[in-house]
Structure 1
Amino acid sequence: LQDMEGSLTARDRVGIQDFVLLDAYTSETAFMDNLRKRFNENLIYTYIGTLLVSVNPYKELGIYTKKQMDIYMGVNFFELPPHIFALADNVYRTMISETNNHFILISGESGAGKTEASKTVLQFYAVCCPSTRLLDNVRDRLLLSNPVLEAFGNAKTLKNDNSSRFGKYMDIQFDHQGAAVGGHILSYLLEKSRFLSTWVTGSV
């Protein structure tokens, strides 16, 4: 805890950055008050132990730069303020050290920022993983798949102008050195009612 607190700025100390440390940790009111206090300071990430709570700010915060990625790369999970880069890095390093499959589950209501979170994780791995021409090709294909999926599976809703109307399972394959060597994306639960079709021309 001392290491974690020592690296924080005054702004980062707004509220409690880990809900586990709340005195009234069973109080929903205290939970929401802490979340609101941090959100008002554009601190959209808060931990619950090793879980990460994210609140969609609906604006650019400038917290996903290459510089930020470098800061969180290879650093102890609780050593820096909560961030999705910290989560992605922790999962990546644990996967390599344990030589076992790991996953990141991103959940939330429509407009919560799930798609953007998955893109951010992909971008982090694109930077932190070992790179060769072949691996760069794998990385680029994974990153460029998002616009294709969004073109066919996204729609405007009351909460989100570009809402994903399908579920997405993304599997990234790494070698023993931690380099991305392949992957596939499975889409499911697509809202087919949003597609129009005719017997003459086929699907539109």
Structure 2
Amino acid sequence: MVAKENQKHNLLMPFLLCILLLMVSPLFLGIENLTEIETAKVLEYYVVFISVILLPAVFLPEQDKDIRDLLSSKYMPIAKLYSIRIIQVLIYLMLLLGVYMYLLKAGNCTFAFGRVYMGELATMVFLGGMGIFFYALTDQVVVGYMIPLLYYMLNITISPNKIKAFYLFSMSIEKYEWKWTLGIAGVVFLAVGIVIRSKRK
């Protein structure tokens, strides 16, 4: 019930926007006959944006304080509600990423599917989780979207050696082990974001 209502009233437009973003990618990127490093660049530099679109949307209904007060008065703990929403978004991200990577494989791209899939998923959870965390911290939707984008731009301009395991594009330089740090940090961002947002009145 929660997931159905969330899809209908909250996630439909962001989800459709993500699909559109992926569908138009051939207009900007080559997605055929790619090596693993080239595939990683497509995923890390472009596809990762769907996480920034979808994950911060988890808190959008509660921008209206009346809705927040109403939900707080219901029998279901607000933290559980947020957790269900986030799990739903993560499932969508996993499906979208899987389908997109399948199409890359169909386009004769050469890469280790499981390794690249998990690496990109870790990046998505980190960047989207960062949006969740700062949205919860500031109660400002703009901040929830802007901080991940600013961090993305920082990663473009800074040397990987300066931020090491927190470098977003580590698969592009064949540092797959760094993705563990991003994934764990992303889960922490999500969990702390839920806690902060649940306590907000």
Q: Whose relative contact order is higher, 1 or 2, with alpha carbons under 8 Å and at least 6 apart? A: 2
The TM-score normalised by the length of structure 2 is: 0.33
The TM-score normalised by the length of structure 1 is: 0.33
The structure richer in helix per residue is 2
